[in-house]
Amino acid sequence: MRRRTFLQLPAAATALPAAESLDLPQYRVVSPHAAAARPGMPGPFPGLVASVHSDKAIDAETEAVDAAVVTEMIARGMRSLTGEPAPVAAWRRFFNPSDVVGIKVNCSGAPGAMSMREVVAAIVTNLTAIGVPPDQIYLYERFANQLRVADYEPHLPAGVTIHAVETSRGSRLNYDPHTYVEVNFFGEEDTRSQMVRLVTERLTKIINVPNMKDHGAAGVTGCLKNIAYGSYSNVARSHRDAKTHTLSFIGTLAAVEPLRSKTVLHIMDGLRGVWHGGPFSPTRKFRFYPKTMMFGTDPVAMDRLLLDIIDGKRKAEGAISVWHHDPKYVKRGRGYADDPNEDRFLREPGHIEYAARLGLGVYDIKKIQVRRIEL
């Protein structure tokens, strides 16, 4: 193992203007839940990211994953993040046998891009190893059809619950009407986004398992977007024509209790990624293979690193930056899915810095510590 610590990384992101000049929507947050003494985001390790890379993790030709290598990557990453000498001790820093643990997977691009089965299975194994019973572990995602395609069940022990929030598109039964964010973006009829009931009523802790993906509205979709848009109803209304309100909506959603306090760990699955056309991946045209996993409690710091990964790959492929804000690149229709120099919206990668302003983590690249491990 070669381990190196970098205190500075190349800066690629521009600073947001002052809040008063952003012309933000008017948000009303309603929640009966109080914050924890130390909310899960940014948690005990603000500004710290453990990054583990292995060339053996996935075969870029067949996309076959080496489960044993993934298990070792997770063990090394958790030890590096926490400073504990053994994986069991590292996991016990976050969880105990009485916890009811949610695993927020990302299946929007399944099967081409998703939280990999081997990664999710290894996370569950680590939870049960410290005494969390399988029937106190829930995998959740918003849409039932995406979870069916992801097909996690054969890879998990009996008792683990796979929970689809919307068993049919638009169903509201599994959202909490007492915990919501209200905002009128474009004069839409329904102006409320309600938090998932499982989060408000059942779970005590959440592990967020995003991917390394480009996103046509948010710029990238990493920790913040996965936990925010994936834990509320009625979020797609934030985009219309070329305009998206992801700049402020993502962070606003993520900061609401109890989601903020219960989300205690982020494990970014970067075995394979998407550098254009995300969050979907119907073909392999825009997939790439970072063969990397990142670990942290600070979603802002992790997503700040993700910006450089995605934008660096786009630059290497001759594509426009996620930071462009020129309407000439924005076109209606599905053409963006084939052309990396065409977009659906004026992207808002600044949502990561905005989330930092809400106290969700560290954005300044000079203040982010990265512990890199090569297997």
Q: What is the CATH number of the domain that holds 200?
A: 3.40.50.11440
| 321 within a domain of the structure (yes/no) | yes
Task: Name the E strands within the chain.
Answer: 2-6, 28-30, 48-53, 101-104, 137-143, 161-166, 175-182, 192-196, 205-208, 211-215, 219-221, 239-240, 243-244, 263-274, 287-288, 292-296, 369-374
Query: Is 29 contained in some domain?
Result: no
The tens digit of pLDDT for each residue in 251-275 reads 999 999 999 999 999 999 999 999 9
- The 10s digit of each residue's pLDDT in 187-208 is 999 999 999 999 999 999 999 9
Euclidean distance between CA atoms 174 and 172, whole angstroms: 6
Asked if residue 56 is part of any domain, the answer here is yes
Q: Which domain holds residue 339?
A: 34-374
**Do residues 185 and 240 lie in contact, with contact meaning Cβ atoms separated by under 8 Å?**
yes
Question: Residue 355 belongs to what H/E stretch?
Answer: helix 351-357
On whether residue 112 sits in a domain, the answer given is yes
Domain total in the chain: 1
Quick one: DSSP state of residue 320?
Answer: P
Residue 169 reports pLDDT greater than 90? no
What's the predicted TM-score (pTM) here?
A: 0.94
Give the residue-averaged pLDDT of 287-311.
Answer: 98
Paired with 268 in beta bridges are 294
In a domain, 3, yes or no: no
Total residues belonging to the chain: 375
- Judge whether 113 lies within some domain: yes
Q: For residue 19, what pLDDT band results from cuts at 50, 70 and 90?
A: low
Helices (H), 141-270: 144-150, 197, 223-229, 246-254, 259-262
Strands 192-196 and 48-53: unpaired
Which pairs with CB-CB distance under 8 Å and at least 24 residues apart come from 326-335? Answer: 327/242, 330/242, 332/241
Coil, strand, or helix at residue 55?
coil
Name the residue type at position 206. I
pLDDT at residue 365 is higher than 70: yes
Q: How far apart are CA 272 and CA 213, in angstroms?
A: 9
Please give the Cα distance from 144 to 239 (Å, whole number).
23
Q: Is residue 16 part of a domain?
A: no
Question: Region 22-39: what's the mean pLDDT?
Answer: 94
> Strand 137-143 and strand 101-104: pairing?
parallel
Mean pLDDT, rounded, for 219-228: 97
The contacts of residue 61 (CB under 8 Å, 6+ apart) are none
Q: Which residues contact 370 (CB under 8 A, 6 or more apart)?
A: 5, 6, 9, 49, 50, 51, 305
101-104/48-53 β-pairing: unpaired
pLDDT bracket for residue 3 (50, 70, 90): very low
Does residue 7 carry a pLDDT above 70?
A: no
Percent of the chain with pLDDT over 70: 95
Structure tokens, 73: 């990557």
Q: What is the pLDDT of residues 65-87, one digit of tens each?
A: 999 999 999 999 999 999 999 99
pLDDT reported for residue 14 = 59
Answer positive or negative: Cα dihedral of 189, 109, 25, 343: negative
Residues paired with residue 182 on neighbouring β-strands, in sequence order: 28, 192
**Which amino acid would we find at residue 115?**
S
Comparing 8 with 25, the larger pLDDT belongs to 25
Question: Could you give the dihedral angle defined by the CA atoms of residues 339, 342, 346 and 350, in that order, rounded to the nearest 10 degrees?
Answer: 50
Reported confidence tier of residue 4, pLDDT bands at 50, 70, 90:
very low
pLDDT over 60 at 240, yes or no:
yes
* Whole-angstrom distance, CA of residue 53 vs CA of residue 293: 7
First to last CA, the chain: 6
Residue 346 inside a domain? The answer is yes
Q: 222, 299, 250: which is closest to 45 by C-alpha? A: 299
Q: Which amino acid is it at 312?
A: G
Distance, CA of 77 to CA of 209 (rounded, Å): 14
